[in-house]
């Protein structure tokens, strides 16, 4: 990820650990996730991204921030959007990203549907865009459209490959869990209950360590591609 050929790199790190709505417990990992991920992505020798952190947004603030992040971009831009929060599914199995004012019984009006994020990413003029989802049921994000993280991950494009692309846009999504799995804080599953374990999440923690240590550079060429990062995190 430290190929310096493209300096138009922008990252938005969204972290929600405090929930005032019904049915969702506090999370301790997101705050630490935000600090560590922003640090490694903003490091000129590693990610070289222009990083913005959005902490504990309301659902409307989150919608606006996501739309603003993908809008009015140049084809030369590389975008990275990271979520560390509760993921909640409705009765139809659709994934919603929880905000600080999300009411689990009123997801349509108080949470952000994953398909909204997908639509904004696909509509963006940016040539390269990647979404990281560190939440429960993340694999429900546009199932069938994107490769999901896990032991069978197959992400074909790398950041370098996408930057060399002239006539098409590259899109990729990393997820911390499948459509039917919990994500983890430390060694404990996040099940929407208060008092989740402290420390960084397993997914974001592995992501940060792989980038900072260079261990995710599987082929030793000095640049970490998406497929290498996915393999390391898995």
pLDDT given at position 34:
82
Q: Which residue has the higher pLDDT, 144 or 110?
A: 110
Element (H, E) at 81: strand 78-84
Segment among 26-35, 43-52, 116-125 with least mean pLDDT: 26-35
pLDDT given at position 169:
63
Threshold 0.75, pTM exceeds: yes
Other CB atoms closer than 10 Å to residue 49's CB: what's the count? 23
- Tens digit of pLDDT for each residue in 59-98? 999 999 999 999 989 999 999 999 998 888 888 888 899 9
- Tens digit of pLDDT for each residue in 196-226? 445 567 888 888 899 999 999 888 888 888 7
pLDDT given at position 218:
87
Q: Which residue has the higher pLDDT, 191 or 120?
A: 120
Angstrom distance (rounded) from CA 115 to CA 198: 30
Q: Which residues contact 168 (CB under 8 A, 6 or more apart)?
A: none
pLDDT given at position 103:
93
Q: Which residue has the higher pLDDT, 12 or 135?
A: 12
Q: How buried is 187 (Cβ within 10 angstroms: 0-12 exposed, 13-18 middle, 19+ buried)?
A: exposed
The answer to whether residues 159 and 11 touch, using CB atoms and an 8 Å cutoff, is no
**In the chain, what are the domains?**
9-233 (3.40.50.1460)
Would the pLDDT of 168 be above 70? no
**CA distance to 2, 35, 130, 150, 154, per residue, from 234 (Å):** 21, 22, 17, 5, 11
- Tens digit of pLDDT for each residue in 175-202? 775 444 444 444 444 443 333 445 567 8
Distance linking the first and last C-alpha atoms of the chain: 18
């Amino acid at each position: 990820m430290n190929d310096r050929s493209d300096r138009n790199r922008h990252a938005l790190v969204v972290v929600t650990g405090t929930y005032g709505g019904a049915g969702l417990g506090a999370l301790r990992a997101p705050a630490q996730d935000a600090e560590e991920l922003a640090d490694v992505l903003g490091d000129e020798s590693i990610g070289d991204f222009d990083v913005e952190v959005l902490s504990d947004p309301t659902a409307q603030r989150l919608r606006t921030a996501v739309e603003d992040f993908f809008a009015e971009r140049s084809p030369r831009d590389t975008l990275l959007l990271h979520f560390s929060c509760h993921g909640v599914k409705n009765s139809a199995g659709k994934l919603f990203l929880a905000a600080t004012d999300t009411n689990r019984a009123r997801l349509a009006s108080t949470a952000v549907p994953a398909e909204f994020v997908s639509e904004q990413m696909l509509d963006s003029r940016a040539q390269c865009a990647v979404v990281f989802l560190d939440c429960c049921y993340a694999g429900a994000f546009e199932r069938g459209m994107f490769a999901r993280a896990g032991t069978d991950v197959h992400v074909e494009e790398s950041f370098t490959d996408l930057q060399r692309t002239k006539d098409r846009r590259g899109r990729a999504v990393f997820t911390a869990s499948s459509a039917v799995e919990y994500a983890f804080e430390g060694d404990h599953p996040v099940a929407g209950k208060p008092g989740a374990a402290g420390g960084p999440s397993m997914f974001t923690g592995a992501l940060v360590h792989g980038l900072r240590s260079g261990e995710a550079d599987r082929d030793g060429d000095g640049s970490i591609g998406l497929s290498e990062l996915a393999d390391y995190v898995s």
